[in-house]
Amino acid sequence: MSNQAAFVPTAVGVTLAATGVAHFVAPQAFQAITVQAFPKDTDTWIKRNGFTETVVGVAIAIPATRKAGWVALGAYVAFLGSQIVLANK
């Protein structure tokens, strides 16, 4: 893979990991979106989501774990989507 082609998934992973860390630095920024999927215990879920995004982002950023990171991201997005649907029934 060329350096340019490797840059994109690395950048995606680093960005996702940084967003995950931001959940701990500025949790209020994630309150409005998290409450939609997790109306109960929202503050705990902000931390759980931050942890998940950090771990998945790091996995995507590292070439050796990238495939597992993409799979984990897909599962995480599906989980969040299902939570939003269930919370709004």
* 1-59 per-position pLDDT tens digit: 567 777 999 999 999 999 999 999 999 999 999 998 999 999 999 999 999 999 999 99
The model carries a pTM of 0.90
Total domains in the chain come to 1
Query: How far is it, in rounded angstroms, from Cα 23 to Cα 79?
Result: 18
The residue-averaged pLDDT of 49-75 equals: 98
CA proximity to 84, closest of 12, 24, 36: 36
Query: How far is it, in rounded angstroms, from Cα 83 to Cα 85?
Result: 5
Asked if residues 45 and 32 have their Cβ atoms less than 8 Å apart, the reply is no
Query: How far is it, in rounded angstroms, from Cα 67 to Cα 80?
Result: 20
**pLDDT on residue 21:** 98
Residue-number span of the structural domain to which 60 is assigned: 3-87
